[in-house]
């Protein structure tokens, strides 16, 4: 997926993926991650998710990486409203950085963010990764590089990963289908890939039924 595709989506506010509430799977399974209060959570391709605000509310430092400055401006406002956290925004080369109390937001290409950059910002190897609608936002050709890059930012992080799976022949992404086998393959070197939940969502997602699908499965994994 090209950057222009996503910038265009944000300019038109065609953001059907955005939830108006904290993700239910995050609320349900966050205790399984067993994160300590001060742990940093890395949220790749974060959009303007309320999940990031909720994670900060739990006492975690949060790092969000997102192409769209529109999304991060909104997220900065949400953090201000919900937590009274003011972010200082600064344009630095190809990126826009937003820095505040326990928060780092980076508007720019995820693949250009390095472990060194995070360390320079005081966020060395985040302890936890939270991926909701990130790997599934990327086409097959990018997902191995995505996972490799994610692990380069924090090789031993625990990860809460939420995927979607359906018959990709019946509909093109995003969101893209990511099978159980693919997750196992990407995380073959992990100590453990534990599937916490598999849920059929087709009855709650009529727009996907209208697009010809008869199954739309969400899976939640804890990867260690």
Ligand X SMILES: C[S@@+](CC[C@H](N)C(=O)[O-])C[C@H]1O[C@@H](n2cnc3c(N)ncnc32)[C@H](O)[C@@H]1O
Provide CB contacts within 8 A for 23, sequence distance 6+. 49, 51, 132, 162
User: Is 56 annotated as belonging to a binding site?
Assistant: no
Residue 45 found at the interface with ligand X (CB under 6 A): yes
Interface region with ligand X, contact rule CB under 6 A, candidates 40-48, 147-155, 201-209, 212-220: 40-48
With vertex at residue 14, the alpha carbon angle to CA 110 and CA 169, rounded to the nearest 5 degrees, is 80
Pick from 70, 87, 118, 134: which binds ligand X (CB under 6 A)?
134
Rounded distance between C-alpha atoms, residue 150 and residue 148, angstroms: 5
Q: Looking at the chain, how many residues does it have?
A: 224
- One character per residue 155-174, x = contact with ligand X (rule: CB under 6 A): -------------------x
User: Is 132 annotated as belonging to a binding site?
Assistant: yes
CB-CB contact of 153 with 118 (8 Å): yes
The DSSP annotation for 138-183 comes to: S-HHHHHHHHHHHHHH-TT-EEEEEEEE--GGG---SSPP--HHHH
Interface region with ligand X, contact rule CB under 6 A, candidates 44-52, 88-96, 149-157, 195-203: 44-52
Interface region with ligand X, contact rule CB under 6 A, candidates 42-50, 78-86, 91-99, 184-192: 42-50
Rounded distance between C-alpha atoms, residue 153 and residue 151, angstroms: 5
Q: How far is CA 39 from the centre of its chain?
A: 17
Provide CB contacts within 8 A for 68, sequence distance 6+. 6, 7, 10, 47, 107
User: Is 12 annotated as belonging to a binding site?
Assistant: no
Residue 28 found at the interface with ligand X (CB under 6 A): no
| Shortest distance in whole angstroms from residue 102 CB to ligand X | 19
State which residue, 101 or 145, has the beta carbon closest to ligand X.
145
Residue 18 found at the interface with ligand X (CB under 6 A): yes
| Shortest distance in whole angstroms from residue 38 CB to ligand X | 23
Residue 150 found at the interface with ligand X (CB under 6 A): no
Pick from 33, 41, 47, 63: which binds ligand X (CB under 6 A)?
47
Contacts 24+ apart (CB under 8 A), 181-184: 182/143, 183/219, 183/221
Binding site for S-adenosyl-L-methionine: residue ranges?
10, 45, 66, 132
User: Using CB under 6 A as the criterion, which residues of the chain lie in contact with ligand X when the complex forms?
Assistant: 6, 17-18, 45-47, 49, 65-68, 71, 109-111, 132-134, 137, 174
């Amino acid at each position: 997926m090209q950057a222009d595709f996503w910038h265009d989506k944000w300019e038109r506010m065609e953001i059907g993926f955005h939830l108006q509430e904290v993700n239910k799977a995050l609320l349900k399974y966050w205790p399984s991650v067993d994160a300590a209060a001060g742990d940093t959570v890395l949220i790749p391709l974060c959009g303007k998710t309320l999940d990031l605000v909720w994670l900060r509310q739990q006492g975690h430092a949060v790092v969000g990486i997102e192409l769209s400055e529109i999304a991060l401006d909104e997220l900065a406002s949400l953090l201000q409203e919900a937590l009274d956290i003011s972010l200082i925004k600064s344009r630095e080369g190809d990126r826009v950085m937003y820095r505040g109390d326990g928060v780092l937001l980076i508007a720019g290409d995820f693949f250009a963010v390095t472990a060194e950059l995070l360390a320079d910002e005081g966020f060395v190897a985040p302890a936890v990764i939270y991926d909701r609608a990130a790997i599934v936002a990327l086409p097959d050709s990018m997902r191995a590089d995505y996972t490799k890059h994610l692990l380069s930012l924090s090789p031993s992080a625990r990860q809460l990963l939420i995927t979607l799976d359906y018959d990709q022949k019946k509909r093109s992404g995003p969101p893209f289908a990511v099978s159980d086998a693919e997750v196992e393959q990407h995380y073959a070197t992990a100590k453990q890939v534990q599937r916490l939940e598999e849920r059929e969502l087709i009855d709650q997602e009529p727009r996907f039924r209208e697009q010809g699908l008869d199954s739309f499965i969400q899976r939640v994994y804890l990867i260690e």
